[in-house]
Structure 1
């Protein structure tokens, strides 16, 4: 009586096995054909093709390492600075230098220091993924951002870079000069220009055709310029205008920046509820994560640079609350990003969760900004 059922199940598994075998055969056929072609060639051509394959394998091995190993990734990295021990605002004179200008010392900028270190983290401690040749070529012509592979780190790095770009613009236009009437600091101006450079440029390009300076070279020069500015600030040869209105404007720009990211997360969460099969959800998530990662350290730097303002306006409690929102958001590191429905019960909705924390941070920024206007 059970024979028909057993035979039916056996046939099902037989056809499943044949289907899997056929799929594997289709995948392996080009490689088998290439292997037969290779064995029929002369030794000179074999040597040339062999060297090319070794180079390609090496490139992919390096690409795999660059995208999967996140060197020195540490969501609690701001704690390593110990900014709370400084007790001096940026640009504030510390010593008089025995009456000589060259011997004066002033407080440096923690914001500039963190911005330089974050860029160093992106392009020196790690490879800048977005301009790597294999990232630009994609997966058989498909952009890596449209696949579930090898794109999380690139999005994370671009999120950090977005925050640093915004910060260097504020340093050049407002913080590193007196009431926007003085000359823009040349190092900050160069750093801003270098960090605005395209994120995807390799050593060679087609538009325009010819060799190019790759993206990481520009970003490395921005690191040097930010550190040169800080070195001159420490010897009181340039200025940092640590006024309340400058801090308010910087916070407002950050609130606007992450507000735009929140809108992107909201749009993706509402219109692409494909659970684990939304292959762009991870890009949005890790870009937002990178922004918060960077702004957490930059806000710690701002707390040090504007120490007198924060004390005068009694902002410490609000600032501590904002720090708690940053740390809560950065603790969320899913292995796979899912974009499920908000009322779903099978797939999680990581984009909505990240969007919630982005808005919490933005709310804290707006609240601090409101206090600064009083």
Structure 2
């Protein structure tokens, strides 16, 4: 009685086995053909092809290692900073001192450190040749592999780009009527450079200066500015209207990111299989990672303004919201339905935290405006 059933399942498993064998055979056939072709070649061609294969394996090993090793990643990096209760640019030297000293800008220091973290302590992934080539020509951002760190770095750099613009245009000059600081102008220009340039390009054709070189110059420029500021040779205009404008810039950036997360969350509910959810999530994470530190720096730089408006308690609440978002570090990003029960919705969760931070920013800005 059971023989037909046993035979049926035996046949099913045989068919499955043959199907798997066929798929494996198709995948291995190009490599087997190349192997036979390689064996039949002369030793000179073998040496050239062998060296090329060794180089390719080494490049992929280096690339994969750098995408997975997040050197000095620390959501609590802000705790490493100690700030004096003096607004940036305010003179701190004693009356009988032989030389003047002024308070450094915490915003400039943290911006420099974030960029150093991005391109010196870690390799800048987005301009690496294998990242540009993609997975068999497919953009890595459209795959679930090896793109999280690149998105995270670009999120940090968005905050750096926005902050260097604000430093050059408003914070580093007196009421926008004085001359733009040369270091800040250079930092702003270098931060605008595109994120994907390698040593060689096709448009225009020829050798190029890679992206990390421009970003490393940001570190030098900002630290030079702060050194000059500490000697009272530069300006940091810590006025309430400048703080309002900086907060509005951050609020606008977070609003854009929230809209991107919402659009992906609402229209692409593919759960664990949404290949673009991870780069959206890690871009937002990198952005908040950077702004968490930069807002702490702004609290130090505008210490007098916040004290006069009694805003430190509200500011601390905003920073706590940002830090809470950084606790979300899922191994695999899922973009499930918001009312789903099987898969989580990490994009909606991150969007929720971003909106909470943005709400606090708007509230602080409103208090400063009154």
Equivalent residue for 2:129, pick from 123, 128, 133: 133
Q: Show the counterpart of 2:156.
A: 160
Gaps of 5+ in 1: none
Q: Does 1:148 align with 2:157?
A: no
Residues 1-374 of structure 1 correspond to what in structure 2 (within 5 A)? 1-83=1-83, 86-96=84-94, 98=96, 103-374=99-370
Q: Secondary structure at the match of 1:107?
A: coil
Q: Secondary structure at the match of 1:333?
A: coil
**Structure 1 residue 314, shift from structure 2 partner:** 0.5
State the distance in 2 between where 1:106 and 1:355 align.
39
The answer (yes or no) to whether the contact 1:111–1:305 under 8 Å persists in 2 is yes
Q: Secondary structure at the match of 1:94?
A: coil
State the distance in 1 between where 2:369 and 2:190 align.
33
**Structure 1 residue 261, shift from structure 2 partner:** 0.5
TM-score (norm 2): 0.99
Compared with structure 1, are the counterparts of its residues 97 and 195 closer, same or farther at alpha carbon in structure 2 (3 Å cutoff)? farther
Query: RMSD of aligned C-alpha atoms?
Result: 0.9
The answer (yes or no) to whether the contact 1:67–1:154 under 8 Å persists in 2 is yes
TM-score (norm 1): 0.98
State the distance in 1 between where 2:263 and 2:317 align.
28
Q: More deviation in 36-45 or 6-15? A: 6-15
Runs of at least 4 residues off by over 3 Å: 96-100
Question: Number of residues paired by the alignment?
Answer: 370
**Structure 1 residue 97, shift from structure 2 partner:** 6.9
Compared with structure 1, are the counterparts of its residues 77 and 237 closer, same or farther at alpha carbon in structure 2 (3 Å cutoff)? same
